[in-house]
Structure 1
Amino acid sequence: MMENKYNLKSPAVKRLMKEAAELRDPTEHYHAQPLEDNLFEWHFSVRGPPDSDFDGGVYHGRIVLPPEYPMKPPSIILLTPNGRFEVGKKICLSISGHHPETWQPSWSIRTALIAIIGFMPTKGEGAIGSLDYTPEERRALAKKSQDFCCEACGCSMRSALLALSPNSNPTPEDHKAKELAQQINFKAESSSSRQASESGGAESEPSTLSQGESSTSGSQEDADGLQAEQAEASPAAAADEARPAPAPGSSRSLSPRQRRAQQRQRDGREPASRPTFPAFAAAAAAHQPRDGSHAGSTVLIVVLTLALAALIFRRIYLAHEYKFDYEL
């Protein structure tokens, strides 16, 4: 029936049908199978962990899988009152749809079932779908859970799992799933501690690292921006740094001739291939008209002096010539 309803080439369909074949037979601790008319909705039953407030209880729930499974996580909903998870509400775990960033495609429905059993004795700490009932209330609900019967799949908790036996040996698949579930528990503790630190508690290592990375990148960006602003706003300062420093006490007490001599000495010392900063180029352009005007004024003075001398000489010459003609 399932083969005719779904596309067997779909990765999600192939994965779910494989897992359904692996989980067909119930074990002492868990069992899960898809509904007859919906491969993407599974019903499961798990036994409460021993030596806990849930010891002796058998709990029923739903697993709703997305079409992108196993690339995206399933949603998990408990149907049996248990005192740890809310009934009929998607619970918030690192293996559920509330945390797609922590889901790994290598995890499976078997992994999720063992992880749920491992999560039950932990504290809810205000997570979505979590409860923190007293131990007495949880023990009472564990005894009462045996009477639960699912209306959708018709599963009774009294016969959902195999009876416990002292000589039962877990399968290799259970060992592998338990190792993955321990990783899930560790991630759940890390995420819960991070939530506690965000709400005002002590900071955890993952949050500290993320804050350190963000502060480092932010400070680096600020430093880069500051350097860019300094380079744009103060090119004259960069030009001043590139120029050689003047001798002490020789800035304003020098005459124009001494300043020109010092400028020529600097020009002779500096290489011809020095970088031309905008401010330096502007300063050089500003100096050039002054030097040219000074040289032009010197030439003009010389020319005027020569012209004046020529006029004086001509006047003297003409005066002597007039006097000679008068005497004759």
Structure 2
Amino acid sequence: METRYNLKSPAVKRLMKEAAELKDPTDHYHAQPLEDNLFEWHFTVRGPPDSDFDGGVYHGRIVLPPEYPMKPPSIILLTANGRFEVGKKICLSISGHHPETWQPSWSIRTALLAIIGFMPTKGEGAIGSLDYTPEERRALAKKSQDFCCEGCGSAMKDVLLPLKSGSDSSQADQEAKELARQISFKYGAQNPSGAPLPQPTQPAPKNTSMSPRQRRAQQQSQRRSSTSPDVLQGQPPRANHTEHGGSAMLIVILTLALAALIFRRIYLANEYIFDFEL
């Protein structure tokens, strides 16, 4: 498969490194790329203990963008589980629905732990989420062990190592819970789509000491100031040169007209005197 890809690509180098790190299955998760597509992985995770998913083994797909790890993967569950819809991209802070919360330092292993950690949480209407009853989820968890993936031919009961009760198993469970807690805490309250809730804006305080007429005059003055080009540029208002120039021109014309009239009267008066003397 290596000869099909540009080995200098950051995404290819990163995915090959992760494939080598995840080559050996654990008792909690396993993931590997398809033989003919490095950018599509199939994964298997064990349901978290002491939850409605205890005993379940769940299979799914991870589709990675060419810009990985700068952009997040899309996660799709293929095994019925009662928490995430089957065959639909699920909405998590670590999935493709929220590129604004994705961190390039995260990896496919991080995504697997996040799935395990978020399974016992409430769906709250997020995209691809379900809120089945505990009884339904336990029944699906028991049934999940018989699931066989047509895409990769994996049988769930043969993918993961037998569950151990040692410190390594407990550490993986705690890591999944801690990761889910950190992501939920870091990005705060979320709306049904998984995006952070907008912060309410406080209205501007009103000056109750002013009369209605004074407030209207102040609002009109503020509107004129905000629409002035000089104010928008942070400069003091300038005089209206067009208006002043027109007034000056009118004064010059009137002055010239008056001077012409006076000159004509003087000329006519001198001509009358000259004729009288003759």
TM tier, shorter chain?
A: 0.7 to 0.9
Q: Which has the higher contact order (CA 8 A, sep 6+)?
A: 2
* Residue 308, structure 1, aligned to residue 272, structure 2: yes
Residue pair 2:69, 2:104 contacting (<8 A) in 1 also = yes
| Structure 2: segments with no counterpart, 5+ residues | 203-222
2:104 matched to which residue of 1? 105
Partner SS for 1:193:
coil
Residue of 287, 294, 297 corresponding to 2:258: 294
Residues 177 and 146 (structure 1 numbering): CA distance in 2 closer, same or farther, change over 3 Å?
closer
After superposition, where does 1:51-62 map in structure 2 within 5 Å?
51-62=50-61
Q: In the TM superposition, what are the counterparts of 1:84-163 in structure 2 within 5 Å?
A: 84-163=83-162
C-alpha distance in 2 between matches for 1:38 and 1:304: 108
Q: Does the Cα contact within 8 Å between 1:115 and 1:185 map onto a contact in 2?
A: no
In the superposition, relative to structure 1, how do residues 44 and 180 fare at CA in structure 2: closer, same or farther (>3 Å)? same
Aligned residues: 254
Identity over aligned residues, as a percent?
A: 65
Match of 1:167 in 2: 166
- Cα deviation 1:193-233 (Å, max 9, x = unaligned): 27499xxxxxx6x5348x89xxxxxxxxx9898324999xx
2:42 aligned partner: 43
Q: Which moved more, 1:69-78 or 1:277-286?
A: 69-78
- Partner of 2:145, secondary structure, is helix
Tell me the alpha carbon deviations over residues 71-95 of structure 1, each in whole angstroms, 9 at most, x when there is no partner: 3322221111100111122223333
Tell me which residue corresponds to 1:217.
none
The residue number in structure 2 matching 1:254 is none
Task: String of CA shifts for 1:42-73, please: whole Å, max 9, x gaps.
Answer: 22111222333222222111112233322332
**Could you tell me how far apart the structure 2 residues matched to 1:52 and 1:224 are?**
63
Larger CA Rg, structure 1 vs 2: 1
Tell me the distance in 1 between the aligned counterparts of 2:231 and 2:251: 26
Task: Look up the SS of the partner of 1:207 in the other structure.
Answer: coil
Quick one: distance in 2 between partners of 1:86 and 1:17?
29
Question: In the alignment, which residue of structure 2 is the partner of 1:207?
Answer: 198
Instruction: Give the CA deviation at 1:129.
Output: 2.1
Q: Please say if residues 23 and 31 of structure 2, whose CA atoms lie closer than 8 Å, have aligned partners that are also in contact.
A: yes
Conservation of the 8 A alpha-carbon contact between 1:43 and 1:62: yes
Residue 150 to residue 57, structure 1, CA distance change in 2 (3 Å): same
Structure 1 portions without partners, runs of 5+: 198-203, 213-221, 232-236, 240-275, 319-328
| Distance change >3 Å, CA 283–CA 226, structure 1 → 2 | same
Q: Measure how far apart 1:158 and its partner are.
A: 2.9
Do 2:27 and 2:169's aligned partners in 1 also have CA atoms closer than 8 Å? no
Q: 1:172/1:124 Cα in 2 relative to 1: closer, same or farther (>3 Å)?
A: closer
Question: What one-letter code is carried by the residue in structure 2 that aligns with 1:227?
Answer: S
> Partner residue of 1:227?
228
Please give the secondary structure, in 1, of the residue aligned with 2:166: coil
Report if the CA contact (8 A) 1:111-1:178 is conserved. no
